[in-house]
A = this chain, B = another copy of it.
Amino acid sequence: MLENKSQERTSLEQLGEFGLITHLTKNFTLKHKSTVKGIGDDAAVLNFKDKNVIISTDLLIESVHFDLSYMPLKHLGYKAVMVNLSDIYSMNATATQITVSLAVSNRFPLEALEELAAKKYNIDVVGGDTTSSKTGLLISITALGEANEKEITYRNGAKPNDLLVVSGDLGAAYMGLQVLEREKEVFKVNPNSQPDLEPYSYIVERQLKPEARKDILELLKQLEVQPTAMIDVSDGLSSEILHLCKNSSVGCNLYEDKIPLDPTVISVCEEFNIDSTTVALSGGEDYELLFTIDQADFPKIKGNPNLTVIGHMADESEGANMITRGDTKIPLSAQGWNSFKSEE
């Protein structure tokens, strides 16, 4: 078969062991002093000197975590990296290296994975494994980071009366998914339909191309604020608050009217007749940082447009609650207080 160069598709069959990973990273230079030896031996060699090493791993699977009918392939690698970096950042650490394992069909063009987010986030790709898959596409990423011991922020450091703070806004990724799912259904019925996603661009981008909040860590350093506990919002605000409460043995009062929502989320929630608070509590995939700070640090963050105080921690005996707009106290559950997710 003659190679069709105009198509600019490189099949994976043309690449050998580590071929894909080598190809994807050939224009990368190793940026971190901690990377002693990257790809090319049985294993990579790193040296973090006196720093602590932070490590996190995630698996993304076609038709479970993503739907290629609306997820552009070039964003998939990007999102897979973001999910992991978000975990590193939520420890208040610098992300430094990733390993990437891919299972793909042989017909998969490798150009689809060129955008790995590693360049933008200054990450060394130090290892990987590529294999063929008879079924769907799969990405497994392990991310490493480094931090000084005293900077690491666990989930267990929150104290009663600490303020509960979240970066950015919530619920957009979930509503972006709803819009994409709706367009998919429309497309099934009428393949000639041309969806106008322009009004939904913010929430669709939050779903397809999330950004891990490295910038928030830099902001907090600049503001000289050390969070007492931190977690990233991957499963929904409610679930993450409960993790902080459980790990720190504290309670919490979350104020419904303080939850930051983008105007698009509010209008699309009305369009879909879904409660926006429920979406923020249970939607997930926001990859914002949720953290607690000492009340004494409040003046440092006050008025910052990137940070919103949404409540405060309390004694463990009070439990984790939301104070509604109607001033009613409702216990938080892992699926929000009025879940729309079908659980079994």
Interface residues of A (CB under 8 A from B): 13, 17, 36-37, 40-59, 61, 63-65, 87-88, 90-91, 93, 97, 99, 101-103, 126-129, 131-136, 138, 140, 142-145, 149, 152, 154-156, 230-232, 235, 247, 344
Decide: A55 near B61, CB < 8 A? Known: A37-B154, A41-B155, A138-B138. Answer: no
Q: State A165–B190 Cα separation when bound (angstroms).
A: 66
Q: With CB as the reference atom, state the residue of chain B lying closest to A51.
A: B47
A48 / chain B contacts, CB cutoff of 8 Å: 48, 53
Chain B residues lying within 8 Å of A52, measured Cβ to Cβ, are 36, 45-47
Nearest CB in chain B to that of A43: its residue: B56
Distance of A132 Cα from B46 Cα, bound (Å) = 32
Contacts of A156 in B (CB 8 A): 41
Q: Could you tell me if B140 and A59 are in contact, using CB atoms closer than 8 angstroms?
A: yes
Q: Would you call A131 and B64 a contact (CB within 8 A)? A: yes
A194 to chain B, nearest CB (A): 30
Inter-chain contacts of A144 with B (CB < 8 A): 55
The 8 Å CB contact of A129, one of B59, B103, B135, B152, is B59
Docked CA distance A91–B138 (Å): 28
Tell me which residues across on chain B come within 8 A of A41, comparing CB atoms.
Answer: 91, 154-156, 247
Residues on B with beta carbons closer than 8 Å to the beta carbon of A129: 57-59
Given A61-B131, A135-B135, A136-B135, A56 and B44 touching (CB < 8 A)?
yes
B residues less than 8 Å from A61 (CB atoms) = 103, 131, 133, 138
- CA A18 – CA B316 in complex, angstroms? 24
Given contacts A43-B90, A64-B134, 15 further A-B contacts (CB under 8 A): A41-B156, A42-B231, A43-B55, A43-B91, A45-B53, A45-B91, A45-B152, A47-B149, A49-B50, A59-B140, A63-B134, A65-B131, A101-B140, A135-B136, A142-B142
On whether the beta carbons of B36 and A90 are closer than 8 Å, the reply is no
Chain B residues with Cβ below 8 Å from A103 are 59, 61, 64, 138
What's the Cα separation between A190 and B143 when bound, in Å? Answer: 48
6 tightest Cβ-Cβ pairs between the two chains A and B: A135-B135, A140-B140, A43-B56, A142-B142, A46-B53, A59-B101
Measured in the bound complex, the distance between the Cα atoms of B59 and A106 in whole Å is 16
Chain B residues whose C-beta falls within 8 Å of the C-beta of A43 in the assembled complex? 54-56, 87-88, 90-91, 93, 143, 145
A35 CB, min distance to chain B CBs, angstroms = 10
**Chain B nearest CB, measured from A106 CB (Å):** 11
- On whether the beta carbons of A127 and B42 are closer than 8 Å, the reply is no
Whether A42 pairs with B101 at a CB distance below 8 angstroms is no
Interface centre among A41, A50, A58, A65 (most CB of B within 10 A): A41
Sample of 21 A–B contacts (CB below 8 Å): A17-B235, A37-B154, A41-B91, A41-B154, A42-B90, A42-B230, A42-B231, A43-B54, A43-B88, A43-B145, A45-B53, A45-B55, A53-B53, A55-B142, A56-B99, A57-B101, A64-B103, A65-B131, A103-B138, A134-B136, A135-B136
